[in-house]
Structure 1
């Protein structure tokens, strides 16, 4: 089967880590009999330099014509003085809106190989885990195309004040809630709606919609929590959470907090999903458009130095295979290869000295870590 993937390497370390993910995808294609055709596109700061705008129209159109999009990172200090509508980050917002990807899935799992990197004490982890284990495995489902990031904004005529508006419709809330329930159905069947309903009218609408949708999923436990309490509970007892569904702004903040608990933001992938495209059917299933990216930034200070951790991008490629193409065995092969690579003691600098029994020879750069995953991929079975 042949699939088309838009590659948006972006800025900073983006090209470094995307290249390693493509190497892994090609190896998976060879092993399982798939062909991945790539279309490389400009977006972010590099697009500003080349075209004067962060998201050229032809980039968006080309991305929409592909089956899925794999992105590295955008942004950097070079473009920080530009006006808001010309900042590299506008490329992300434009891609999300243009591709119709409204549900951002951000898993945060403490891998046993990196347990020492978690800043939470082992007894605290154990106390909150349903099986008494010193770990956690949660998924944050963030609404991605509404809320504060897409609301009306501006400044007063005298420049002395500014405003950003949080706006949500019932449709926007319902569809991301259903994405959360679908995820919870194949996990531990627990879903927590996180909001600020004691203060914000938009959050009260979230609760109203959730109260209407929840009875349709009687086998899933639905709870509610204020965002400030959730921020505290993630540190105090992360094992209590299974799936968290929340707004654009709250999801952005909470997922970055959760990433610190896993040991490094360089380990966390993400998937931004839209609705299945019934006009694009492969392997008997409609392809779901998705935008896949590591949740870390562009880290321009280490770009091109062969030190960036590519694992979050490689794991994002696994999510791409799972959610857009329905290739579960292939996705599991990548995830098992990453875990085997860590078992073998390989670490990039951001996760160095955060595991037992490491030797100096196991601290590797971007390219060597990618090669280690390729070697592990040959050894894993699914």
Structure 2
């Protein structure tokens, strides 16, 4: 079980160290950890945010555990040398097209959500977002209209194979969780969404145990903050998924609790190759102070065990240990508590 550990910048090394300690506490047979530089720290050591050695380490692994990248001191660098290019480069090089982002309100933390506690309590969902297509990667540019005005344009497009492969990921996730699947689009306006809906509906026939419904993205945004309990797994494209996943994150109340997985088509001897990371950034203002909440990274490690190694029981143990730690009042500053990074990590390990 080869894991490439890429801590990155800011609080990345601190939170990643706690997640690695949790993995080691499980005493998993055959666990091999390889560490690499990425982001601003890699630029300082190697002159590039994603060195060839790091790419090779990730490509040879069964999964990648990623911390965070970003450093204000690098803002003046050329775009291809900025720390954030590392994660984009990894996704492209490793063929990672599907992002899975769970959003769940843990018992006892409902009051931290900006939603009413009784509504927030219903949030327990997974957003499956396509990562490599849509308007973000389509043709784009600026031109001049016949009237002489400047005009910006971006092309939104999805091919049938692109929709099919992300749909299969979402249906499998819904089947594994025993949850319904809601496909999000704007088929009443967009030709791209009409194709999306047709392909998803066709593939639904291969998953008769999964209940499928379709919803326009504007309605989905409203339902996410008014009736979040109606969602199990949400499937959507890159643009809509970017917006809805951030909305769900805000509704939970703290990004310090939210993991994510980026998956591709590559299969290893254990499961699906993937890159796992917390959704928060490098938080340079608290880096090195031992204040960061490592739970999102620890939960990302649990997702890794489930999806890339088929270790559902071990993943559930980690998730239960995090839930118990929170229930026992051990919380970081992001949750109104006073516990530091090391203390939170030790508490989760104690509850395994």
- Normalization by structure 2: what TM-score? 0.92
Distance 2:225 2:38 in 1: 35
Count how many residue pairs are aligned between Structure 1 and Structure 2: 349
* 1:9 aligns to 2:19 (yes or no): no
Q: Structure 1 residues 75 and 327 mapped into 2: Cα distance closer, same or farther (>3 Å)?
A: same
| Residue 137 (1) aligns with residue 124 (2) | yes
User: Alpha-carbon deviation of 1:153?
Assistant: 4.3
Task: Tell whether 2:256 aligns with 1:270.
Answer: no
Aligned to 1:366: 341
Residues 218-240 of structure 1, C-alpha deviation per residue, up to 9 Å, x if partnerless?
33222222222212211111111
Q: Retained in 2: the 8 A contact 1:196–1:227?
A: yes
Shift of 1:176: 0.7
Deviation track 1:315-334 (CA, whole Å, cap 9, x = no partner) reads 00011111101111211111
Match of 2:350 in 1: 375
Specify which of 270, 292, 295 is matched with residue 308 of structure 1.
Answer: 292
CA distance in 2, matches of 1:312, 1:185: 24
Name the counterpart of 1:346: 330
> What corresponds to 2:138 in structure 1?
151
Distance in 1 between residues matched to 2:5 and 2:51, nearest whole Å:
15
1:166 alignment counterpart = 156
Specify the SS of the correspondent of 1:72: strand
**Structure 1 outlier segments of 4+, above 6 Å:** none
CA distance in 1, matches of 2:31, 2:130: 29
Deviation at 1:202, TM superposition (A): 2.2
Equivalents in 2 of 1:138, 1:44: separation in Å?
Answer: 30
Normalised by the size of structure 1, how large is the TM-score?
0.85
For the 8 Å contact 1:139–1:243, the answer to whether it is kept is yes
Cα separation, 2, equivalents of 1:26 and 1:243 = 31
Tell me the distance in 2 between the aligned counterparts of 1:251 and 1:49: 33
CA displacement 1:312-359 (0-9 Å, x = unmatched): 000000111111011112111111111111122101000016xxxxxx
CA deviation digits over 1:269-312, x for unaligned, max 9?
A: 111112352xx42xxxx432110000111111111111111000
Compared CA separation, residues 368 and 173, structure 1 to 2 (3 A): same
Q: How does 1:256-267 map to 2 (within 5 A)?
A: 256-267=246-257
- Runs (5+) with no aligned partner, structure 1: 126-133, 354-362, 378-382
Structure 2 distance, partners of 1:153, 1:34, is: 49
Q: CA RMSD in A?
A: 2.2
SS of the residue 2:274 aligns to: strand
Aligned to 2:62: 67
Q: Which runs of 5+ in 2 are unaligned?
A: 145-149
Aligned position for 1:216 = 206
Is 1:227 the equivalent of 2:223? no
User: Structure 1 residue 372: deviation in Å?
Assistant: 0.9
Decide which moves more: 245-254 or 171-180: 245-254
Contact 1:189–1:219 (Cα < 8 Å) also in 2? no
